[in-house]
Amino acid sequence: MLNNATTREEKSEIIANDLSFLLPLLIKFPKCYWIWGYRVFLLQQANVFLDPKSSLKFWQGELALIAKMFSRDARNFHGWGYRRMVVREIELLRQNTDSDNQERQEESKKEEEGKGGTDSDTKEGKQDGANDSMEEEFAFTTAMYERNMSNYSAWHQRTKIIPRLLDRRCASTLKRRKFLDDG
């Protein structure tokens, strides 16, 4: 069906419609793996047929859906696994989007240098999308376990996030110890 669509807008609309179609089914059958599997398939198709920025919007929408799902059952271990997969994909898409932006900045920088501009005339500000994701996930898991201390899935998620977060912060041994001691 997506192959027959001629424009990116049409492909985007097909993906959005199918994702919307699945929402009432998920409400009725929240633990049906086939529905979740089809959602992953649709999101992967967004990666194939759409630009990273458009695809990123679909994946970020999944985070909102997962948050709603957790409002019903915050300790759903499979939901947390799905969230890890979605966050990982968002990191990759943000990196692709950031690298595209960096290439454009470098091209415009070269153009300005050709016009007589200097390096000090341009600003380089690269955001690290993966680091943003880790910070956001850390805040999310903190909020989830603060609501319910026995949410072991949120605690498990933190065990996956904290080492990556500290690596991305380039934390020294002392900073790591302080971070873990402060909790």
Instruction: Locate the domains of the chain by residue range.
Output: 51-182
Stronger pLDDT, 120 or 150, i.e. the higher one:
150
Q: How many CB atoms lie within 10 A of CB 22?
A: 17
Cβ atoms of 50 and 19 within 8 Å: the answer is: no
Confidence band (pLDDT; 50, 70, 90) for 15?
very high
Cβ atoms of 80 and 110 within 8 Å: the answer is: no
Confidence band (pLDDT; 50, 70, 90) for 108?
low
Residues 25-48: tens digit of each pLDDT: 998 998 899 999 999 999 999 999
Residues 150-166: tens digit of each pLDDT: 999 999 999 999 999 99
Confidence band (pLDDT; 50, 70, 90) for 101?
low
Cβ atoms of 12 and 54 within 8 Å: the answer is: yes
DSSP E strands, 34-151: none
- CA 170 – CA 158 distance, rounded (Å): 18
